[in-house]
Copies of this chain bind each other. A is one copy, B any other.
Amino acid sequence: MTTLPETTARLLITCPDRPGIVSAVTTFLYHHGLNITELDQHSSDPSGGKFFMRLEFQTPSMDVSRPALAQAFGEVVAKRFEMDWRLSFAADKPRMALLVSRHDHALLELLWRWQRGELRADIPMVISNHPDLRESVERFGVRFEHVAIDAATHAEAEAKMLALLAGQTDLIVLARYMRILSGEFVAHYPSRIINIHHSFLPAFVGADPYQQAQLRGVKIIGATAHYVTADLDQGPIIEQDVVRVSHRDELVDLKNLGRDLERQVLARAVRWHIEDRVIVDGNKTVVFS
């Protein structure tokens, strides 16, 4: 249905599964004049499992202030069911920093969709370890920062990036950023760094996945958007997609076909994150798309 971002709010909940949760949450919202327009739930196991829920609701008739709503929910509902929860208002756009190296396709796709209003976020800056894409980025009115990095300067460069990002972003998107982030860097943004890996994970982790794919002679290639953890290419998968290839496709063809996949898969994963549709559950995700 058509809803206005100005009056849309969302609630994301994870808690131990037990009877009465849906009733308690929806009754709370109803009593505060909030009209539920989307509700998704998932139980990992009905006996002793985890319960996940996402609600989207409309606030024109809300009878309290935003902070008061959050406080009341915490005291009346969340505490009783031991919930991890997050309340957000669509009007408060999340901030999303983009990291990129030299390949522009994933970056331009995100900037183009952002410019059209498909991605409701603010972009505080794009950081790159190469200066090449400055003009492409600034054309969109977005700040571009060049932070060179190599093996010798890795720690220093990461420190510089962390300083640039500090207090400026809620989400980091690696739009084909070709350097491996250290565990220390990643620890600053748990479940808040999204990477696009150019293979159908867990096949072909690490470097040159298209070359690996061609050597193995697969008939389908893929792309995977996932949250970054300290273990390379092992983080929770948000979205994947694939395309058919054949013996006729050489490495350059795989790269061309894969590039289109990467653009689509990363754009979907970023949009779902921004719209609070993804809940991390250990090394997996619940995606209410």
Determine the distance from Cα of A63 to Cα of B203 in the docked complex, in whole angstroms. Answer: 48
Q: A46-B3, A112-B108 are in contact. Are A242 and B239 (CB under 8 A)?
A: no
- Chain B nearest CB: distance from A193 CB in Å? 17
- Assembly CA distance A266 to B274 (angstroms): 29
Residue A168 CB within 8 A of the other chain:
no
Q: Is the CB–CB distance between A49 and B1 below 8 Å?
A: yes
Could you say how many copies of this chain the assembly holds? 4
A41–B43 CB distance below 8 A? no
Question: What range describes how many residues of A lie at the interface?
Answer: 35 or more
Docked-complex contact A286 and B37, CB < 8 angstroms: no
21 A–B contacts, CB within 8 A, in A order: A3-B46, A19-B34, A19-B36, A22-B26, A26-B26, A26-B27, A38-B41, A42-B247, A118-B256, A200-B220, A201-B203, A201-B218, A202-B204, A203-B203, A217-B284, A217-B285, A219-B238, A219-B240, A219-B287, A220-B242, A247-B286
Among A38, A61, A200: residue with most chain B CB under 10 A: A200
List A residues at the B interface (Cβ < 8 Å).
Answer: 1-3, 19-20, 22-23, 26-27, 29-30, 33-46, 49, 58, 61, 108, 112, 118, 139, 200-204, 216-220, 222, 236-242, 246-248, 250, 252, 256, 260, 264, 281, 283-287
Residue of B nearest to A36 (CB): B22
Question: Which one of B45, B46, B217, B252 lies within 8 Å of A236 (CB-CB)?
Answer: B217
Q: Are the C-beta atoms of B19 and A23 separated by less than 8 Å?
A: no
CA distance in complex: A58, B250 (Å) = 18
How far, in whole Å, are A44 and B27 apart by their CA atoms in the complex?
22
Q: How far is the CA of A41 from the CA of B1 in the complex (A)?
A: 12
Most buried by B among A58, A239, A284: A284
Given contacts A1-B49, A204-B202, contact A237 B250 (CB under 8 A): no
CB-nearest residue of chain B relative to A265? B219
Closest 9 CB pairs of A and B: A217-B284, A23-B26, A203-B203, A23-B30, A23-B27, A22-B26, A247-B286, A219-B240, A19-B35
**Neighbour of A220 across the interface among B22, B23, B240, CB < 8 A:** B240
